[in-house]
Every structure is written in structure tokens, then in C-alpha cells.
Amino acid sequence: MAPSISTLLVLGASGDLASRLLLPALGQLLTLHPDRPLRLIGAGREKLTHAQWQATVKKSFTTAEASAAAVDQLLATTVYRTADVTAPAEMERLLAECAGTPAIYFALPPVVTALACDVLAEVALPEGTVLALEKPFGVDEASARALNARLQKLVPEDQIHRVDHFLGRSTVLNLAGLRFANRIFEPLWNNNHIERVDIVYDEQLGLEGRAGYYDHAGALVDMIQSHLLQVMAILAMEPPSSLGAADLRDAKGILLRATRVRGGSAARSSRRARYAAGTVDSHALPAYVDESGVDPENDTETLAEVTFEINTWRWTGVPFTLRSGKGLEARRREIVITFRAVPHLPTGLHGHEAPTVLRIFLAPDEMSLELNLNGPGDPYELERVSLGATFGPGQLLAHGEVLEGILDGDPSLSVRGDTAEECWRIVAPVLAAWRADKVPLDEYAAGTQGPSNWTPIA
Ligand code: NDP
């Protein structure tokens, strides 16, 4: 049993991730577990007074509606230290302040994270130290492997949490519950019965001032390489014996190792596009290339779609299309499982003959099963009916669920090192084809469904 975490050391505590996502998640977590003793140490280059740091924490906790007791308890002990975490002496000072077993959360730019890891290799880490890292995890397979090698010199793999907030506990458990706690889905969950799977994450939002990061990442790396492949892995993995970290992460790893771009051809199996000026929900959005900080020469896509194949007995022949984009007509976050058509419809029945479709919506987590049923009136006529259900919200924000795993020393929701490398291996042919201009960069007006020549996902 891993020692429980008594100090959360946030490196980069003055940054956006810490104040907007991490601290609110912590506030929620402490509200849910008021008896959990935890000290928070924030560190960053910015000089913050104690009062300024307290105000930052308080404001973040307020956004998550953290209880007054949780706020007071944390504020009584939290400290902020101005430090350059790439300097060994300063890192050592920070670690010396950590009582008990620390979790070190790298809320830092990726380059600084790598340097901070080198520094940690030079200092003595307390027994049981847990490391938590945000995406992007490298920029390709080789850099992810190099970062893994750095991390594995510091602590064992089970103490490394590569955070993917798409893998919040409720989403993973919702998918697992639906698939494995019902007799009717799992027997059909294969290429005999499923025609295709689409995982769509469309946003209305544009760049939102994130050019510094996004203009070098694009939709493929920002969403598909990381989050959507993880969702696909949970959706398509073999039934694990348990949802413990080892079983769950083994099952995901096996699935991802069997995944590649469909037909081995990025040119045929991927599409990319960038939004031009348009109107989203009655708000004008400038063209992506006119956003501040964007370099048009980067040819960054704001909409990416890639079809993968999973070469296993269960999935061979089933296309898995993953799509994500910005500046689109509607927010759409769903997994669409389209079943094969029935082998024979008895003569006489007519009307709707579309295949059965199961839709699993993400945030809010809901599902609908679209069936053809005999409607009122003509008993031979089929009508489309949708059966809906709500999974119900989790108790915590997604980051809170991930943070809980970090503080409990349970890595089941975090991305294992080999899987992080695998996800880069899977998209590498697409990145190469796009860089070599083998796939045209199409254009769509912001506020539309995407380029007019693209077939929409049903
Ligand atoms: P920011 O640039 O807002 O914050 C980075 C923080 O790191 C700042 O507090 C900065 O301090 C600090 N920092 C930089 N260099 C050093 C150093 N040498 N020593 C100590 N502190 C340092 O970035 P974000 O918060 O947006 O992102 C942090 C990480 O989280 C990145 O890896 C990002 O990819 C990832 N992420 C962010 C998301 C978001 O929504 N923001 C979402 C998902 C992942 P100073 O300003 O003083 O330099």
C-alpha cells in the first residue's frame, strides 16, 4: 500500500492550469473529504505575497463552491514560494518544506517540466513521492520515450501520473458499467454486429487566446492524439478482470498496440481543415489565421478527423473515426456506435430501416439508443424511437477525480508510460503526411459543421 500523500507541491502554481482547473478541483475534493489532512505548497517564478497567494487559492476554491471549512483549513497552512524549479538548490528547498510524502504536480510549460525532472534526479526525493504531469507528454514518440526514461529514473511507474482529465473516474466507470454490467451490449460489441464507431468532440469555441500552445499543436495533437484515443481504448478494450490500475491499463495498452491508421494510409484516412471568419451562435469569430499569436505558415488545423483500425479478432474491419475541432456550428461530444443492418427485414415491415445507433454523450454524461419500433397507426410501419438515460454527474470535476487518484496513490485513471508513447506512434503517419502536404488543409466558415465537401458524421 503506497504511503498517503500529505503535501501537494504545485510547481507553476501561479499559472492558468493551477488557478483555473487544479485548485478548484482541490477545493471540491477537500469539501468531499473534510478530514483529509493535506498541506498545499505553491511554487512559481512569479513573486506573490502570502496574501496574494491566499487570495488566488480562495478565488479558485470559490469557483468550485468549496465549503468554508475546507477553505479555512487549507488557507491556515498553505504557503507560496518564489522559486526557479530548474535550479537544484531551490528545488531542494521546496522539497525540504514538504512534510511526509509529497505529490509533485508539474503545472509548468513542458520544456520546464523536463528540466525540473533533471533537477529532481540530482536531489533526494522523499520515499513514496508521486509525480503528476500534464499533457502534452512529449511532442512525438521519441520525446515521450525520453521523458519516460527521465521519469523512471526518479520513481517507479506506479508513482507517475500522466494526467488526462478525459479519463475522469465517472466517464471511465460509465463506459465500463454500460459495457460490462449489461448482458445485451457486450455480446454485440464486435465486428459481427458493429458497423462503425465515431468519437466526436466538436467545440464552438475558437482559439480563446491560446495561440502559444495551440498553434504548435493543432486539433490532432490537442485532442485526438491524447484524449480521444484514450476514450477509444476504454470503449474498445477487452473486458478486464478488474478495474484496478494494472488490469485496466493493461487492457488499454493491448488495444492501443493493435491500433493504426486505417489501411496504413494517412492520405486516405485523415482530413484536416481550418476555420475562416464566421458567426458562431450569433457571435462573430475571426478567421483562425487572424487570431493574435497565430503564424499562418504553421498550417495549423482547427478540425481534424482520422479513421483508425484495430487489428484484433474482435475489431478487424470496423472503422473508428475520431474527430475534433473548434469554431463549429454546435458543441457535440459523443461516441456514436452504429450497428450493422439486420440481415433480413420481414417482408411487410416498412418505414424506418436505419441501423440501431447507440450514442454515448460526454459532459453531460447521457446515452440514447435509437431503435426502429412499430409506431402508432399502421402496425407494419416502423418509426425511429430513442431510449434515453442519464448517467448522472460524478461527485467531482474531472480534474478532481484525477487528483483524487493522485493523492490516493491510485494510478488507474492516469496514462501509463508505454501508452503515452503508443499514442504518438499511432498518429505519427498522419503528422508526417500533413507536414508533407499529402492531405489538403481544407477551410470551413466558423459556425458551420465543417468543410462543405466533408461527409458529416451522423
Ligand atoms: P502557464 O504559462 O499559465 O503557467 C506556467 C507556470 O509555470 C507559471 O506559473 C510560470 O511562472 C511557471 N514557471 C515557468 N517556468 C518556471 C520555472 N523555471 N520555475 C518555476 N516556475 C516556472 O501554463 P498553464 O498553466 O496553462 O499550463 C501548465 C501545463 O499544463 C502545461 O504543460 C500545459 O500544456 C498543461 N495544460 C494546461 C491546460 C490549461 O487549460 N491551462 C490544460 C491542459 C494542460 P511565471 O509565469 O512566473 O514564469
Q: What is the pLDDT of residue 2?
A: 62
Check whether residue 115 and residue 222 sit in a common domain: no
CATH number of the domain to which 98 belongs? 3.40.50.720
- Name the residue of 108, 163, 227 whose CB sits within 8 Å of the most ligand 1 atoms, as the mutation to test its pocket: 108
Classify burial at 45, counting beta carbons within 10 Å of its beta carbon; exposed 0-12, middle 13-18, buried 19 or more: middle
Give me the catalytic one of 50, 227, 344, 352: 227
Q: Is residue 348 part of a domain?
A: yes
Q: Is residue 457 part of a domain?
A: no
**DSSP-derived secondary structure letter, 304:** E
* Tally of domains in the chain: 2
Q: Report CA(114)–ligand 1 centroid distance (Å).
A: 13
Report the atom number in ligand 1 closest to the C-alpha of 45: 47
Q: Which residue, by CA, sits nearest to atom 21 of ligand 1?
A: 44
Q: Is residue 163 part of a domain?
A: no
**Rounded to whole angstroms, how far apart are CA atoms 172 and 259?**
20
**Rounded to whole angstroms, how far apart are CA atoms 282 and 55?**
36
Between the alpha carbon of residue 59 and those of residues 11, 53, 111, 385, the distances in Å are 19, 10, 28, 46
Q: Report CA(1)–ligand 1 centroid distance (Å).
A: 32
Q: Is residue 453 part of a domain?
A: no
Q: Is residue 330 part of a domain?
A: yes
Q: Report CA(10)–ligand 1 centroid distance (Å).
A: 10
Question: Which run of H or E residues covers position 141?
Answer: helix 141-152
User: Where is average pLDDT lowest: 120-124, 384-388, 394-398, 410-414?
Assistant: 394-398
Q: Which residue, by CA, sits nearest to atom 1 of ligand 1?
A: 15
Question: Which run of H or E residues covers position 402?
Answer: helix 398-408
**Which residues surround ligand 1 with Cβ inside 6 Å?**
11-12, 14-18, 44-46, 83-86, 107-110, 112, 134-136, 213
**Beta bridge partner(s), residue 278:** 285
Provide the pLDDT confidence category of residue 414 given band limits of 50, 70 and 90: very high
- The C-alpha cell of 162 is what? 500522466
CATH number of the domain to which 373 belongs? 3.30.360.10
Per the model's pLDDT, the better-predicted residue between 4 and 22 turns out to be 22
Mean pLDDT (whole number) for 298-306: 98
Say whether pLDDT at 72 is over 90.
no
Answer yes or no: 227 catalytic. yes
Q: pTM of the full predicted structure?
A: 0.94
Q: Is residue 452 part of a domain?
A: no
Q: Report CA(227)–ligand 1 centroid distance (Å).
A: 20
Q: Is residue 383 part of a domain?
A: yes
> What is the domain extent for residue 71?
5-134
Mean pLDDT (whole number) for 304-324: 98
